[in-house]
């Protein structure tokens, strides 16, 4: 997942994933949901938000929503550290 951030706000979000349809749907939803949010708002996004947005996930699929939360946090941590390409 990568972001374009201007003035503390996410102006563009992209992801690349190879996986099952749930993984791709979760990443796609996240890119749409993150555009226009501040970095703080993006960090507040939780796996439950992703699961809810996808209409609920069963126990075998829930790890995809957790993965999205972790990927967002990792990408934004790179941004906070000064990495020019979050």
The CATH number of the domain holding residue 36 is: 3.90.1010.10
How many angstroms separate the CA atoms of 29 and 82, rounded? 26
The pLDDT value given to residue 18:
85
Q: Is residue 85 in a domain?
A: no
Does residue 7 surpass a pLDDT of 80? yes
Domains held by the chain: number: 1
Residue numbers of the domain that contains 74 = 2-80
50 token code pair: 């992703």
Give the pLDDT confidence of 11-64 residue by residue, as tens digits: 999 999 888 888 899 999 999 999 999 999 998 988 888 888 989 888 888 888
Q: Is residue 86 in a domain?
A: no
64 token code pair: 């995809």
Other C-beta atoms within 10 Å of 20: how many? 11
The pLDDT value given to residue 60:
82
CA dihedral 2→38→45→28, nearest 10 degrees, is -40
């Amino acid at each position: 997942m990568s972001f374009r951030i201007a003035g503390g706000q996410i102006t563009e979000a992209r992801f690349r994933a190879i996986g099952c349809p749930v993984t791709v749907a979760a990443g796609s939803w996240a890119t749409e949901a993150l555009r226009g949010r501040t970095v703080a708002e993006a960090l507040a996004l939780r796996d439950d938000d992703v699961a809810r947005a996808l209409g609920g996930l069963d126990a075998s699929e829930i790890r995809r929503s957790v993965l999205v939360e972790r990927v967002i946090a990792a990408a934004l941590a790179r941004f906070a550290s000064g990495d020019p390409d979050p």
